[in-house]
Structures are given as C-alpha cells and as structure tokens.
Amino acid sequence: MATEVVIVGGGVVGAAAAYQLACADVSVTLVDAGHDGKATAAGAGIISPASSISPPDVYYPLAYAAAAHYPALLAQLADDGERETGSGYDTRMTAAGMQEILREALRIAPGLGGAEIGDMRVGLRPTSPDGLPILGAVPGVEGLFVATGHGASGLTLGAYSGIQVANLAVGQEVHVDLQPFSVERFA
C-alpha cells in the first residue's frame, strides 16, 4: 500500500480522497490553487443521482452508491470537525453567459419571466466528452490516478468517486466497477 500520496485539486473529489487516505494513515499532500468560483460551495447539499441528466446505464451503480454514501461521510466529517472546500478556474461573470443561462431557464420555466433576481454566481463543473466521469489509473504512468470530469453530477458523485480512486491508488478495496469510467475509453 502506498504511504505517500499527492492530490491535485481541493474540491469535493480531491478533499474526499485526501480525507479518506488521511483516515487510513496515509501521508497526503493536497494541492489547490484556491480560485474563486467553487462549484462545490455554490451547490453544497444538492445530492441527486440523476435528476438533470439522461446518462447511460453504467452511470447508475456509481451514482446510487455515491448518494447512499453521503450520510455516512457527513457523519464522519462532523465527528472529525472537518469542513468542505472547493476549487475553480475563470470565474468572470459575463453578460453573454448570464443571457444564455436566463434564456435557457425561461425556455424551461417561462413562468419565471417576472421573477426578481436576487443573486448570480459562477461555479465551474468540468465534464468529459461523453458526460461520464474519468476515474482510475492513467495507462503508462505508474502511480498516477485521476478522478475528474463529473460535470453537473460532481456533488453527487465527487466524494464517493474520489474515495474509490484513493482506495485504488493505495491498493485498498474499490466498491464499484471503475472500468466504464477509465480514461482508456477515449483511446
């Protein structure tokens, strides 16, 4: 089992992976740029296995396991007095971006046309080309693992998938099939 791990990115995925490893007495270094625009902070508490997407069947075992894992994770974090952090990138709020979001919101729910806007935020959710997360070992690079590309499902899948990839990295049991989420599917 690995005894030292470096995790890049302190959002929900990286923080959960780091926390899991630290609880297993692995020496962890968490590297994060601390940018504004943290999707983790903007949507904290939104845990839903598939309310806004129509994913392929391989998504569901991971999504349901991830959603089911949250109560235990939150209880463990509360017991340890931990707090959640996030990470992000370019957080500029542009008129065109706001227009696109409002146009789509009004297309879906035209009754909101007269609603007052109290606040707007930017939160980035990187996604993969096929909309599924990229999880597991990077072929040809010993000791390098990824857990990224969760998109709008990051808060639901992030902590659990981060923990599963952390387990894989240190040779512990992984509780969901990561093969459908391998980076090799893009080769």
Under 8 Å between Cβ of 133 and 148 = yes
Using DSSP's 3-state secondary structure scheme, residue 54 falls into coil
Q: What is the pLDDT of residues 65-116, one digit of tens each?
A: 888 887 787 778 777 765 443 444 456 778 887 888 788 878 878 888 898 8
| Residue 35, pLDDT above cutoff 70 | no
Mean pLDDT is lowest, of 9-18, 47-56, 98-107, for: 47-56
Q: Which of 162, 159, 155, 148 is nearest to 50 (CA)?
A: 155
Q: Which residue has the tokens 């990561």?
A: 178
Q: What domains can be seen in the chain, in order of their start residue?
A: 4-110+119-186 (3.50.50.60)
Under 8 Å between Cβ of 1 and 150 = no
Q: What's residue 182's pLDDT?
A: 95
Q: Please report, for residues 11, 16, 45, 170, the alpha-carbon distance to residue 74 in angstroms, rounded to integers and kept in the order given.
A: 15, 11, 10, 23
DSSP 9: -
Higher pLDDT, 106 or 161: 161
pLDDT band at residue 3 using 50, 70 and 90 as cut-offs: confident
Mean pLDDT of the chain: 79
Q: Please report, for residues 45, 68, 124, 144, the alpha-carbon distance to residue 42 in angstroms, rounded to integers and kept in the order given.
A: 9, 21, 9, 29
Higher pLDDT, 78 or 64: 64
Q: Which residue has the tokens 């409002």?
A: 102
The pair of structure tokens assigned to 66 is 């991830």
Residues 6+ apart with CB under 8 A from 106: 112, 113
Q: What's residue 36's pLDDT?
A: 59
The pair of structure tokens assigned to 21 is 């490893």
Q: What is the pLDDT of residues 115-154, one digit of tens each?
A: 888 877 666 667 788 889 999 999 998 889 999 988 878 8
| Euclidean distance between CA atoms 59 and 178, whole angstroms | 10
